[in-house]
Structure 1
Amino acid sequence: MRKILIAEDDEKAGVLLKTYLEKHQYEVTLAQNGLSFQSEFSRLADQLSLVILDVMLPDTDGFVLCKEVRRRSNVPVIMLTAISDGADRIVGLELGADDYIAKPYDPRELLARIKALLRRAGIDNQSVTRYYRFVGFTLDLLERTVTDSAGALVPLTGLDYQLLKYFVEHPGAILDRSVLCEQTRGRDAGPLDRSLDVQISKLRLRLNDDGKQPSLIKTVRGAGYVFSADVAVSPA
């Protein structure tokens, strides 16, 4: 999946943009200041498809970060600003930004610009997985839904969805409890934390996976869980 790193100090705006882009098959990481952006960029630099930088950040500005990104990578960069200032636009482009958009912006326009940049960079020409199919179920990443073999919707909470998504993306792999907690809750599991086990029990129930002898999500004692079904993937 194509990965985007966003530096945006407005938490609400950042979450809304993240949700919107994820619906369109992008994996998004948010940073709310320059320090966290630099940390995430160091961690993800070789995996990123695109970077979005807000010009105004609490501890630095997007120009400084753009210069740092360009020193280390050729990843496409889009700058965001609340000021429609031609001089700012020129500075950003001279520092290596590939595009510039003023706030408030239409997310559909930003998405169109992202797609255009990735096409030019040769990143967006590949088929993107939308559907994961396993034992009669279909997980639709675009609609964020699961249907059974009869086409009926399976009711899932947000945590159910995130957990199932991670399982189908890693079929056959033994997944450590702390990794699963990090993926679904953004935190590690403590030694006495049973919330993940409860969540998995609920997910098994929704997928008609026998809790006493599960065949779909199996417990590996002392190691974690494994999604044992064969998974087929297909593009949108």
Structure 2
Amino acid sequence: MSQTSPRGSDARPHVAILDDEPEIRRMLSDALEEAGFRTSSFARATEFEAALNRMTPDVCLVDLGLPDRDGLALVHRLALESGAAIIIISGRAQVQDRVTGLELGADDYIIKPFDPAEVVARIRARLRKGRADPERAATVARFAGWSADFDRYVLVDETGAEVPFSHAEGEVLRLFLDSPKRLISRAQMQESLGGAAGESFDRAMDVRISRLRTKLGEDPKNPRLIKTIYGAGYIFLGDVDWG
């Protein structure tokens, strides 16, 4: 059974919680409401997906161990179709599970058991990153025959054809477009995008950059826009016009 706080003119950030354990849903909802968030809680993926037709959460907390749907498949769909930040909450603690979740488009991965205060802090950090420049949040960047629309999470080519990108891919793309023709090191990426440094973060960045190159029609062996500077980081070589 789902629980949804009233909407009205409530401007508080909205967090959707998907977990089949009622105690965890209650614990997260209580902590988030006390911290100033609005929440909706769901025990099953089918309820959650149906609710997405009438709500637009800012953050989705998704448990991977769902009774009616593969959690990773749901994360991947949300990453492609939703503008929300996606945070996985799971008892799966293996590095490969974390890497897979991030590769499929999650923005963060929290292992059970957890302190609700940590979840609140992670959500606040994620929203601060996404809203660091409110004036720019609704703008479009143009470069090399492409337009990147960060309101709609789509790339548009010269013919008008649209290619969707995920929230996580958008964070990486924005980082490049905000600093064209400047070297961005792995350490700078980790500081800007958050998440724990290490193998899982590096692999997640590699996957997201690879996907961005594919969506931009780049030759993986000789990309013209997003260049890898081995041992140093990445550099975006296009001219960028923010409109």
TM-score (normalizing by structure 1):
0.50
